[in-house]
Structure 1
């Protein structure tokens, strides 16, 4: 049957927030102008309203700042209508549902025993698998060939892994633990497992004769060392090489093994080679042929951090130009457009702004603060980026859990839940919008940098509350909660936790504990450019 042409005039939202459904701060809505339309009427109604509030505008734009205080926290329905010069409705209306969510309550919480939570989590992370060991798993930590598991039994959901993203998370977490608790009985095992993960990354890479020669794998499974062929093919995540390079430098500093340093340099040189003229990189490629499978990623900060760390260690400026090009692209790109997406190996190629995330936003915040003396505007930009994260991704109040779970998190395994989680916690991305320990830990690191740079008490209070929230989401067996912890049941609603995300939360909590202790003891603390 011949497809009918769609010539219907309709109001279509534009702008970075067109797929957003959570707002702490009043949003401004924009839409495509329609020539025949002389007046737009923007209508809002809450669940308790019997009649909508209506506002007229001649422009395809509506700023909610002047009316935001009229709405209670919770669900808001919006309907935008268009009228011609005869006041006749002449186009298809646009409907959107979104939520007004709480802001930080500014309460000063009492710090919990974070050290105890960290040790309990280390015991969980370093434990053996609850499944029979496959041949390809012999002698390896259980996270080498497993991402998601029933954390209670340690039974694996699958043998599917994302090495560039999560093997590095274990390296960062275990080295931090062994450094912070050097006399603890688990410290030796933590250091040992960190090295095993590092050696795995060194020994298991894309082939040397590939276009993206020796780049780290992004998606592998069941002992097979080649990128998983998915439909559509997801290929190799290019900028993940920056993260792996940073992990190699941490291993080099710890073990003084030159092979780690050489691989970090190799990856940095390769990233310079593949950097585009505008300073960016493609998101995903066919590592063998070099074909670009997915164009856009906002992540240029991982390579930039690797460049900066190498130049610091070498006391040179070898990579300065490539670093500055990457940062300039980000300042003119995602910093202004808010298009922070193209980050994760297990997401599909989808239209712009539908799956915003905050991993690299947080890394950019910390970079700008670290290099704040290079540009007087950097600190203000960092604070603005943080507020964007707080607006879109931080769950400040348990009642706001009603606004989460609308994505396809966990490949649809988790689903929409009526969660009541400790707060504040941080959502991962629009398509996996759950309060996760790992992303809460990542933001916690940004709060360290922000407080250290500004000395504003709000960042300290937020940090204490956030660290407490990670601990309040800890399960009896030591695991932090990947999909949120429900205080009514005193457990998660789903215990299919990701060990790599636990490792990220672990690192964030350790660094916060170190920083807060340094504040109390008036001792020096330096966050630097390392990550989780």
Structure 2
């Protein structure tokens, strides 16, 4: 803490000796140093707490959607649980030796008045429920981060296409020369293994020296097909092999699917493990709406090949999924594929189905499917957008308490759909803007100065931004989600013409390039970060996800082509 001498010396200093003055000065300096040391110790404790956040979700008395939010760019407002005899609600915010207090007679507490005074750093948040006498009837403490906002595009474009080429060269090479714990003959290693081998034995994710033993076909294979098609469509060096691999992946899923019986006949598996179908958190169950993402990839590969079985399968998935739509337009999350019994109810992903229906429309139109898609869209607006319950719905995630694991993945898909259908409703684009700000506020790490990335082993890390965190319980700034955000920003730019969206996309592309290792891999877990002002490669961790790498490359290619097309128009 820097304390000006004029603030240390008393007004009667002219009557004091030089020694007395120096004693006063050194007393103040030592006090400041002690306070700084205490603040640093406190800060270390906060970082240690955040390192262990995953798996330590505690019950909360915060009613609002942001009860478990890890970062905020904009000043948050919290709704607390109303309680009998409580007449005042307070929030104390603390950063180091600085503290602020907010009070309210209602259970709504906004940090807006103090937000400009706070630094872009970690802070503690202490809520109190007080009775008329000022006695605390309840309290709740948490640790959050005030994160920096967008500061504009401040550098030239990196070689996005070159970075994507190197990554796809690695991916194509790995298909036949990589390692996997289970290897199906004449199949790419990444059919059954979705992540590269871990290198260190004490890495927190576990020890997988031969690669991760699981894959999630509706997600991973969909991205493989889409990424390989985009690579070939852009005429890159191994386009012929890329198209061959895309077809191998698509044909594998036509061959390896559920039996032609039960509640979802011939549906794709959403988890596969070491040569077995099912496993992991899902067991024998499936994530219903994930199949829509794979079906969209089948529409894409049909467009490229005109192979009718690909289109037929996409139509089959759409029609089968539609049977599970509820009266309000929603769908169940996880089901037993044989009986149709629901094992987990809520999912915000109804728009996955709607996106499939509109992807099919140029080749297959069914008014009943379109009506179902419209109901899914307006249910999402009415229920998910208003509640902000953008639950993370990844196959490898356990059920978590409500609002404790939000993600921007489904939010982004819905933003893109709103932009693509903007002519249908004038409210779509304003809502898309609002949802993008939600994604930024909760999941985007804009600057290397941000303190939002607390690694469970390494502690506070600073990465080049903007990158995008995946979900609350897997709090890593990932290349895939930055790539998907680039895709989202392109759609927002097309829909609005506002330059800021394209500028953010270009900055995100540069940040993805900064995640690249020498062999072409992108770090999935933010393991290229700043140390002493330079980016270092922490490659020994391994565990880079093939689908995440491909997703990043897909949208680097797309952004490169989009920017060039705009230049040609101008």
Q: TM over 0.5, yes or no?
A: yes
Q: Does 1:35 align with 2:84?
A: yes
- Any conservation in 1 of the 2:195–2:544 contact (CA below 8 Å)? yes
Give secondary structure in 1 for the equivalent of 2:145. strand
1:4-38: per-residue Cα shift (whole Å, max 9, x none)? xxxxxx98111110000200000001111112011
Give secondary structure in 2 for the equivalent of 1:81. strand
Counterpart for residue 237 of structure 1: 287
- Any conservation in 2 of the 1:283–1:342 contact (CA below 8 Å)? no
- Any conservation in 2 of the 1:117–1:474 contact (CA below 8 Å)? yes
- Any conservation in 2 of the 1:178–1:190 contact (CA below 8 Å)? yes
1:469-503: per-residue Cα shift (whole Å, max 9, x none)? 11111110001110012143531463210011111
Counterpart for residue 225 of structure 2: 171
Counterpart for residue 143 of structure 1: 190
Give secondary structure in 2 for the equivalent of 1:496. coil
Counterpart for residue 410 of structure 1: none
Gaps of 5+ in 1: 1-9, 407-413, 524-532
Counterpart for residue 499 of structure 1: 546
Q: Which protein has the larger Cα radius of gyration, Structure 1 or Structure 2?
A: 2
Counterpart for residue 115 of structure 2: 68
Report the CA distance between 1:159 and its aligned residue: 2.7
Q: Does 1:203 align with 2:249?
A: no
Give secondary structure in 2 for the equivalent of 1:280. coil
- Any conservation in 2 of the 1:475–1:481 contact (CA below 8 Å)? yes
Q: Does 1:191 align with 2:243?
A: yes
Counterpart for residue 255 of structure 1: 305
Give secondary structure in 2 for the equivalent of 1:469. helix
Counterpart for residue 427 of structure 1: 469
Residues in 2 aligned to 1:13 and 1:373: alpha-carbon distance in whole angstroms: 38
Could you tell me which of 56, 70, 84 is aligned with 2:131? 84
- Any conservation in 2 of the 1:243–1:306 contact (CA below 8 Å)? yes
Give secondary structure in 1 for the equivalent of 2:167. helix
Counterpart for residue 467 of structure 1: 509
Report the CA distance between 1:132 and its aligned residue: 6.1
Q: Does 1:227 align with 2:273?
A: no
Residues in 2 aligned to 1:156 and 1:358: alpha-carbon distance in whole angstroms: 31
Counterpart for residue 455 of structure 1: 497
Report the CA distance between 1:234 and its aligned residue: 6.9
Residues in 2 aligned to 1:118 and 1:511: alpha-carbon distance in whole angstroms: 10
- Aligned CA-pair RMSD: 2.1
Q: Does 1:348 align with 2:398?
A: yes
Closer, same or farther in 2 for the Cα pair 1:79/1:315, shift >3 Å? closer
Residues in 2 aligned to 1:193 and 1:205: alpha-carbon distance in whole angstroms: 19
1:274-311: per-residue Cα shift (whole Å, max 9, x none)? 11111111111111121211111100111101111222
Give secondary structure in 1 for the equivalent of 2:406. coil
Correspondence list, 1:47-126, <5 A: 47-49=96-98, 52-89=99-136, 91-126=137-172
Counterpart for residue 369 of structure 1: 419
Higher share in helix: 2
1:379-425: per-residue Cα shift (whole Å, max 9, x none)? 0000000000000000011122x32347xxxxxxx645432211100
Closer, same or farther in 2 for the Cα pair 1:119/1:152, shift >3 Å? farther
Residues in 2 aligned to 1:518 and 1:96: alpha-carbon distance in whole angstroms: 47
Closer, same or farther in 2 for the Cα pair 1:404/1:245, shift >3 Å? same
1:325-361: per-residue Cα shift (whole Å, max 9, x none)? 1001100111111111141000001111111011111
Give secondary structure in 1 for the equivalent of 2:101. strand
Report the CA distance between 1:235 and its aligned residue: 1.8
Counterpart for residue 382 of structure 2: 332
Counterpart for residue 529 of structure 2: 486
Could you tell me which of 496, 511, 522 is aligned with 2:558? 511
- Any conservation in 2 of the 1:311–1:319 contact (CA below 8 Å)? no
Give secondary structure in 2 for the equivalent of 1:156. coil
Q: Does 1:217 align with 2:264?
A: no
- Any conservation in 2 of the 1:425–1:470 contact (CA below 8 Å)? yes
Residues in 1 aligned to 2:91 and 2:280: alpha-carbon distance in whole angstroms: 46
Counterpart for residue 68 of structure 2: 19
- Any conservation in 1 of the 2:179–2:189 contact (CA below 8 Å)? no
Give secondary structure in 1 for the equivalent of 2:362. helix
- Any conservation in 2 of the 1:161–1:221 contact (CA below 8 Å)? yes
Report the CA distance between 1:135 and its aligned residue: 7.5
- Any conservation in 2 of the 1:308–1:319 contact (CA below 8 Å)? no
Report the CA distance between 1:40 and its aligned residue: 2.0
Report the CA distance between 1:313 and its aligned residue: 2.0
Counterpart for residue 41 of structure 2: none
Q: Which shifted more, 483-492 or 281-290?
A: 483-492
Residues in 2 aligned to 1:268 and 1:124: alpha-carbon distance in whole angstroms: 34
- Any conservation in 2 of the 1:146–1:156 contact (CA below 8 Å)? no
Gaps of 5+ in 2: 1-58, 201-207
Residues in 2 aligned to 1:346 and 1:416: alpha-carbon distance in whole angstroms: 23
Give secondary structure in 2 for the equivalent of 1:80. strand
Residues in 1 aligned to 2:352 and 2:179: alpha-carbon distance in whole angstroms: 36
Report the CA distance between 1:56 and its aligned residue: 2.1
